[in-house]
Structure 1
Amino acid sequence: MQGNLNEIDIRSILQLIELGQRTGQLFVEACSSDKGSKLGVDDTASHYPANSNKQQSWLIFFVNGQIIYAANDYNSLSRLSDYLRHYQVKVQLDEQQLACLGTLNTAEYDYLWMLLEQNTIKPKQACSIIHCLVHETLFDLLNLHQGSFIFEVDSAITPQLTTLEIAPLLSKIVKQVQQWKQLYPYIQSPEQFPVLADIVKLRSSLPKATVNKLQHWADGKTSLRKLARYLNQDIVTVAKAIHPYVQQGWVQLVYSETANSLKDIQDKTLPLEQSRKQRILCIDDATSICTSIETILKTEGYEAIALTNPLEALSLVFQLKPDLIFCDIAMPELNGYEICAMLRHSQAFRFVPIIMLTAKEGFLDRVRAKIAGATDYLTKPFGNTELVILVERYLNSRKNRVIKHTQHLLIR
């Protein structure tokens, strides 16, 4: 049995294997185009950012319609190492042991059995790890909608430690997938890394113990997936726990390739805010508009940053802390109304000027922009003078409000 996932979904494939009481292996590979789409929103869901070169594949082993074991990137020991950390066991292999792994089964499965034979872990612990590995694999696959699969009837993987019934597993994980989708777009992927964005707000709003935990885990080096493995929790539980802090802008989620960029930004913003130029962020999928706004505003002495990917912009905006935002209305994946409404729900951006960019001049567009919380509306194409006047109007207005508020506090 083989085919494409746009013809039959993973859930149906697993149900067929269960009903037929099949023994063998199911191999699934994601399409390369499937890796860059948002998770749980459309039919091209994936956990990986667009510029990831990683070709994802999964392998599930069955006996009589039940799951024995499931592998993700099955030549790697990295995720097994994460689960073993919970039991304070480190992966330690010499060259001879490493060469023997994966000759019969997968390296991960062979190593798990090696630990059992050495009495390094107990059978109950090994069963728990296998359950977690299977659960994690099925969660990823139920979020996958583009790819190919092959089921090969074969003798069962040996030795066997445990078997899992497919129906109850699917019922549980389908519910988790539905809950996961509700966290979008604040949380987009298990492969995102939590980073503290506003430690001052965290300390003033949360108990010290909670802040200490967040500081320990939100280091930009530990992904949500790794965090779930370390804590022996499912990914949805961990994501739900961190979701309120991401909504408030106190914690930011980034992909590994942007983590270093964010650290550079943090270093640059360490001096007092008064000493830096006023920062303006432009979010527009049209490169020409971004380039134009950047050029005009930099000439006028502003710090201008342009982002053409709306999802990346939402991921970075809390760290950039712009003084004013230009946001295009018509963008793929996430439109300007949605971005504006999300930012207005955060205390950090409640009063930041947000100016919508659009090629339309309709009354309904202006109404929708106001409802979403937009400060003003700029129609494309626009002139240099028009742009600068609009920026000065709102930045000067905001500066005056800050000065008056400061003076009021001093008088009191």
Structure 2
Amino acid sequence: MQGQLAEIDIRSILQLIKLGQRTGELYVEAYIPASLTGNTSSLPQCHLPSQSWLVFFFNGQIIYAGTTDGQLNRLSDYIHRYELDEALHNLDVPAIATFNSPEYGYLWALLENHSLTPQQGRTILNGMVHETLFDLLSLHQGTFVFKLAAGLSPQLTTFDIDSLVAALTTQIQAWKQFYPHIQSPHQCPIVTEKSQSNSREDVKTARILQWMDGETSIQQISRYLNRSVFTVAKGIYPYVRQGLIHLSDINHLQPPDDTSEEWHATRVPRIVCIDDGLTIRQTVEQILDEHGYEVTSISNPLRALSLLFQLRPDLILCDIVMPELEGYQVCAMLRQSTVFRQTPIVMLTGKDGFIDRVKARMAGATDYLTKPFGAQELLTLVEKYVGLGNPARPKPDRLLAEAIKDDLELETTSSPFLD
């Protein structure tokens, strides 16, 4: 599975991994910073974190997450609270570090020589995973690749994706209250001369003044204090607004110029059929191929989600009942992406029931086709949405509105569910 974050967000990717109970590694890379913004003449530059990350999974749960820079600065910050700075520097290079993330390897070495207790190790891992996911869930431009691999070993603990994402989403939403005064956990606070001239008792954040040197980020301070970045930001926010604390500017990530080729209106419509039944896939391929359409059939819904972003079809036919992932879930996930927000999605179902059609509509489906279906039924539906002879076909959102209206009119007099 791979693609662009402009097409599918991190939250949806994590949900797919959880649903599939996958074991492997997720690599995420942000776009290279293009330029600095804001007035930086009087403030030191804040050192940026790595622009790529790795998240390790075991059976759909997170084991560890961090950057790919291979540095131990973050681990050093975390163990500072336990006064273990020297213990880290005196470690021999652990064998595990050559196979896994060096940071994870050194953490295990500290556990094995009893410098850290298992509980301390879990606390540090919890902080590492939370801050990495905070960055990733805030990211909207970049690329990702997920590959199946043996589980990261040894394992200290695991983290449930749903509860982790829910907590961090709430935190990210709350973070917005600090804009535009505080924009990122990677900004570095520096105490102004005005603030330094006052007595320390006049500043409630006196405990962390020692780190406000313009080189230590909000995130680093949170590690030292064993507090969340939100708590630290909330503590300094009033003084940032008053001008007693300034923040260094950071690089803003810019997406690359769009050099993709324009799709010509005269090209052959591309259709993807997602169905675990071999007979249905072969039937759809044969019928559509004979009538000049470009068709691809996929049996595995999880595999289909990654391929769809590469194929960019004009119409998606999706079975409802499939192993690992229902068609409703596939449809709902695709609708979260701007790429497929307007793409016609037709659900293939063996049931001709009102409830199934309502559930399909709620998931974002454009239409449905009841199995078994004949060649003419399939061709009529395909022609309706992406017909070769209909270059001026109506937009999918209007078609969806019309189809919903038709269904409701059809069922109003006959369905007991509307009584």
TM-score by length of 2: 0.54
> After the TM superposition, which residues 57-206 of structure 1 pair with which residues of structure 2 at under 5 Å, given as runs?
57-90=52-85, 92=87, 97-98=92-93, 100=95, 102-199=97-194, 203=198
Contact 2:36 2:250 in 1 (8 A): no
Q: Offset at 1:207?
A: 3.1
User: Residue type of the partner of 1:156?
Assistant: G
8 Å CA contact retained: 2:61, 2:158:
yes
**Whole-Å separation in 2 of the counterparts to 1:51 and 1:231:** 20
- Shift in Å at residue 194 of structure 1? 1.3
- Distance (whole Å) between structure 2 residues aligned to residue 53 and residue 124 of structure 1: 30
The count of residues paired between Structure 1 and Structure 2 equals 246
With over 3 angstroms needed to count, the CA separation of the structure-2 counterparts of 1:152 and 1:36, relative to structure 1, is farther
Residue 132 (structure 1) shift:
0.5
2:11 corresponding residue in structure 1 = 11
Q: Write the distance in 2 (CA, Å) between the matches of 1:50 and 1:31.
A: 19
1:153, 1:59 → 2: CA distance? Answer: 13
Call closer, same or farther: CA 1:57–1:132 in 2, change over 3 Å: same
Quick one: which amino acid aligns to residue 3 of structure 2? G
Give the structure, 1 or 2, with the largest relative contact order (CA under 8 Å, sep 6 or more).
2
Residue 250 (structure 1) shift: 1.1
Separation in 1, partners of 2:211, 2:156 = 33
Q: Secondary structure at the match of 2:170?
A: helix
Q: Which runs of 5+ in 2 are unaligned?
A: 39-43, 252-419
The 3 A distance-change label for structure 1 pair 243 and 144 is same
Q: Report whether the alignment pairs 1:221 with 2:215.
A: yes
| Structure number with larger C-alpha Rg | 2
Matched, 1:230 2:219: no
Q: Which is richer in helix?
A: 1
Instruction: Summarize deviations over 1:121-143 as a string: whole Å, max 9, x none.
Output: 00000001101100000000011
Within 5 Å, give how 1:287-306 maps onto structure 2: none
Shift in alpha-carbon separation, 1:71–1:119, aligned structure 2, 3 A: same
Indicate how the Cα distance of structure 1 residues 92 and 113 shifts in structure 2: closer, same or farther if over 3 A, else same: same
Q: For residue 110 of structure 1, report the CA deviation from its aligned partner.
A: 0.7
Q: TM-score normalized by structure 1?
A: 0.55
RMSD over equivalenced CA pairs, Å: 2.9
Query: Shift in Å at residue 93 of structure 1?
Result: 5.7
In the TM superposition, what is the alpha-carbon distance from 1:153 to its structure 2 partner? 0.7
Task: Give the structure 1 partner of residue 242 of structure 2.
Answer: 248
Answer yes or no: is the 8 Å Cα contact 1:30–1:55 preserved in 2.
no
Q: Which residue of 2 aligns with 1:31?
A: 31
Residue deviations 1:192-245 (CA, integer Å, cap 9, x gap):
2211225359837x7357364353232223211110110011111110110000
Q: Is the contact between residue 97 and residue 105 of structure 2 (CA under 8 Å) also seen in structure 1?
A: yes
Pairwise CA distance, 1:52: 7.4
* Structure 2 CA distance for partners of 1:52 and 1:208, relative to 1, 3 Å: closer
Cα 1:55–1:130 shift into 2, 3 Å: closer
Separation of aligned partners in 2, 1:148 and 1:92: 37
Residue 20 of structure 2: aligned partner: 20
Take 2:203 and 2:163, find their aligned partners in 1: how far apart are those partners? Answer: 37
Gaps of 5+ in 1: 39-48, 258-412
Deviation at 1:100, TM superposition (A): 4.0
Identity, % of aligned positions? 47
Report the AA paired with residue 11 of structure 1: R
Equivalent in the alignment of 2:349: none
Work out the CA distance in 2 between the residues paired with 1:51 and 1:203.
25
Q: Is the Cα contact below 8 Å between 1:75 and 1:106 reproduced in 2?
A: yes
Question: In structure 1, what is the Cα distance between the partners aligned to 2:210 and 2:165?
Answer: 34
Return the offset for 1:190.
Answer: 1.6
Q: Which amino acid aligns with 2:113?
A: Q
By how many angstroms is 1:180 displaced?
A: 1.3
Letter in 2 for 1:6: A
The answer (yes or no) to whether the contact 1:191–1:255 under 8 Å persists in 2 is: no
Contact 2:46 2:248 survives alignment (8 Å):
no
**Partner amino acid, structure 2, of 1:171:** A
Distance 1:138 1:119 in 2: 28
Question: 1:257-268 maps to which residues of 2 (within 5 A)?
Answer: none
Q: Which amino acid aligns with 1:120?
A: S
